[in-house]
Amino acid sequence: MEIKIDQYGIDHTARHLMNAPELGSKFNVRITDSKSFLEKLAGYLNTKLKPEDIVWIHKEKVNVYLGEVHLIADTELKKLIGIPKNEFLGYMGVIEIDDNSRSKVFRQKRGQGEDDQMEVNVIEGIEPQPSDELQVHLKKYSEKEGIYLVNAYTGPKGDGPGLPNHKYQTDEEFKLAEEYWSKRAFIKW
């Protein structure tokens, strides 16, 4: 098994760099180049991951397999990507909406381009929580085409479905995503 990177993954992961305007989780300020970061992360994953570590889900609507891997950034990974072991990998940029935060939530567009832009819940005045948890999303169309790293960001295990998007989700998946994300808000930095 070899995990590769492509421009799609580089562009998606760039959204999580600290200086990126996109709402969501952010990486440590020392991570400044998404291509370099993904190359190092892919190399790390290629030496550490076993096929059974990846949870694959077949997305029938677009005939692709999406895989998720959850990691805690260890000293080896931090050294590889240039973060001192006493610093966090990044900051989580999503919170669950509760009674205390509900009145502060507003709607704002998130995403880049027509296919990706949608309104999401947003909140200001909340400190993002530092984290060493890393979510990695992989994609494969078939065994012979390889596995591609399509996104990486700081986030908890089982962080829920992707944002609601009819282009990539069945009606059932869309409904579940809408329900999940109606209870969460992106932190505006």
| Structure tokens, 2 | 């070899």
Please say whether the beta carbons of 166 and 115 come within 8 A. no
5 forms bridges with which residues in the sheet? 149
Residues 79-88: contacts with CB under 8 Å, at least 24 apart: 80/40, 80/43, 80/44, 81/30, 81/31, 81/37, 81/40, 81/41, 82/30, 82/31, 83/28, 83/30, 83/31, 87/28, 87/30, 88/28, 88/130, 88/131, 88/132
Contact partners, residue 144, CB within 8 Å, separation at least 6: none
Provide the pLDDT for residue 143: 59
Q: How many CB atoms neighbour CB 119 within 10 A?
A: 13
Sorted by where each begins, the domain ranges of the chain are 1-89+130-158, 94-127+161-189
Low-confidence ranges of the chain (pLDDT < 50): none
Provide the pLDDT for residue 74: 96
Determine the Cα angle at 44 with ends 43 and 50, to 5°: 105
Give pLDDT tens digits for 51-104: 888 988 887 767 788 889 999 999 999 999 999 999 999 999 999 999 999 999
Contact partners, residue 184, CB within 8 Å, separation at least 6: 94, 95, 96, 97, 121, 160
Provide the pLDDT for residue 110: 86
